[in-house]
Amino acid sequence: MTKLHEGGCLCGAVRYSVMGDPFLVGTCHCADCRKESGASFVTYAKWKRDGFTLKGDMKTFAGRSFCPKCGSRLLNLHEDDVEIRIGSLDAAPNGFVPAQEGWIKRREPWLQPVAGATQSAEDPPR
């Protein structure tokens, strides 16, 4: 049986679901991810678009979608996949472990590399 993962924004105006396990989990330390999240890094998971559903209206800036009511950053929609900020999933912890870590040249020195994840100085290979 395929598992359903659900999530949404802080105020509940935007809800989404994805089916199955993600095909990629990663962490990014780039300046854009740091600025848009207000955190030292962003952890995301990617699913194919065909298992993704969305309810509610989102706004998008530079490819990053968010709730226009509460401002929660949720996801990036790509042509073939959806990249979800795993902090917006309802179930936490969710057990998703990053397999790649990007922009490690900007990683805070007090953070350790993710064990077993590929490490890329800038953007990881697609």
* Chain segment 48-92, per-residue pLDDT in tens: 999 999 999 999 999 999 999 999 999 999 999 999 999 999 998
- The per-residue pLDDT for range 18-48, each reduced to its tens digit, is 999 999 999 999 999 999 999 999 999 999 9
* Structure confidence at residue 94 (pLDDT): 83
pLDDT at 1 over 90: no
Dist. CA 54–CA 56, nearest whole Å: 7
**Under 8 Å between Cβ of 100 and 122:** no
User: What's the CATH code, domain 4-119?
Assistant: 3.90.1590.10
Q: Are 18 and 52 in contact (CB under 8 A)?
A: yes
pLDDT band at 93 (very low <50, low <70, confident <90, very high): confident
Contact 90, 6 (CB under 8 A): yes
SS (H, E, C) 27-70: EECCHHHHHHHCCCCEEEEEEEHHHEEEECCCEEECCEEECCCC
Q: Looking at residue 61, what is its pLDDT? A: 95
Residue 102 pLDDT level (bands cut at 50, 70, 90): very high
pLDDT at 49: 95
d(CA 77, CA 74): 10
Q: What is the dihedral of CA 9, 92, 79, 16, to 10 degrees?
A: -40
Does 2 score more than 90 pLDDT? no
Rounded to the nearest angstrom, the gap between the alpha carbon of residue 67 and the centroid of all alpha carbons in its chain is 15
Q: Is the pTM of this model over 0.85?
A: yes
